[in-house]
Amino acid sequence: MPGFLTENENLDFGLHPEQSLPSHGSRYWFRHFVDNQDSIRANVHYFNWPSGSLRKMLAEVMPLLSVLAGASTIGTTIASRILPWNMMSDHMLPLRRLKPLIQLWPKAVGYADQQSAKLVDQINEFNGTVYVVGHSLGGRIAVRLLERQHTIRTDQLCISAMAPAIAESETRIFPSNPHIKSEVFFSRSDLILNGFYRMGEVKAEHALGYIGPQSCYNNGFTSIDVTSNEFCKAMGHMDYEAHVLGLLRVHSAFWHGFVCSDRPEPGD
């Protein structure tokens, strides 16, 4: 499960098996797993959710550029060519125009918090062991699954939340299902979680993906510090994608159950 601004507008929301995805619909995160299908003992699925997209963000930014640059500038020319004409109306109201852009993050967070119930329904359709890997807001969804552990019916659920964009105060989770295992990958080199996340959330509290679980309330998580590791000397927020399989193979407590080969993987 990818994070903020990774919504695939060509797909319905929900789980998609690799076979059903068009080539242009496979995100880079997903491709790491699909391209190593021969070494993974699992069917790989992609979870598409309303996280926003770069196209939607540009749709909000371009009218602002036209306001700031003026009616005869490059900003207006670009905006008028890329956007429908009806989006150029009311362009003299910059404060109103700012509102949708500012709301992109809180809207995505709200949508993320709604996904765990939908994901549990789909997880319960599988037999055997299910492995969920989520990054950033996708990691937030993965963490939220533990709040619904009493409704999970699969034989075993393994959760790897990488750089989850969620504060510890939002996760008072007591593990009660012995068939669920969970781990959090965190990095103190993650400048996005240390800066932009806290500004977007308007709070001083750090995200789990930056400091890892600290409280006894969250002792259900295995905490994995990847601030500096064999793949990256200073693991930033966007570095997880390139090294996802290597991080899982070396640091995950349960990924070995899904891998049938120890050969190097892309991004190692």
Would you say 207 and 193 are in contact if contact means Cβ atoms under 8 Å apart? yes
pTM comes to 0.81
Number of other residues whose CB lies within 10 A of the CB of residue 250: 15
Would you say 245 and 265 are in contact if contact means Cβ atoms under 8 Å apart? yes
Q: Give residue-wise pLDDT tens across range 199-230.
A: 888 888 999 999 998 875 555 678 999 999 99
3-class state of residue 22 by DSSP: coil
Number of other residues whose CB lies within 10 A of the CB of residue 236: 14
Closest listed residue to residue 183, CA positions, set 148, 129, 145: 145
**Cα–Cα distance between 222 and 81 in angstroms, integer?**
50
pLDDT exceeds 90 at position 173: no
Q: Give residue-wise pLDDT tens across range 61-86.
A: 666 655 555 544 444 444 444 444 34
The CA radius of gyration of the chain, in Å to the nearest whole number, is: 20
More confident residue, 7 or 192: 192
pLDDT at 71: 43
Number of other residues whose CB lies within 10 A of the CB of residue 213: 21
Q: How far is CA 88 from the centre of its chain?
A: 32
Would you say 165 and 137 are in contact if contact means Cβ atoms under 8 Å apart? yes
Place of tokens 């797909």: 11
- Give the mean pLDDT of 13-31: 73
Q: What are phi and psi of 183, to 5 degrees?
A: -145, 150
Closest listed residue to residue 182, CA positions, set 168, 167, 205, 162: 162
Q: Give residue-wise pLDDT tens across range 114-137.
A: 999 999 999 999 988 899 999 999
Would you say 185 and 251 are in contact if contact means Cβ atoms under 8 Å apart? yes
Would you say 55 and 9 are in contact if contact means Cβ atoms under 8 Å apart? yes
Would you say 139 and 165 are in contact if contact means Cβ atoms under 8 Å apart? yes
Which neighbouring-strand residues pair with 208?
A: none
H/E stretch holding 50: none
**Cα–Cα distance between 213 and 186 in angstroms, integer?**
9
**Cα–Cα distance between 59 and 79 in angstroms, integer?**
8
Place of tokens 């765990």: 116
**Cα–Cα distance between 208 and 219 in angstroms, integer?**
13
Q: Give residue-wise pLDDT tens across range 90-122.
A: 444 454 555 666 678 888 999 999 999 999 999
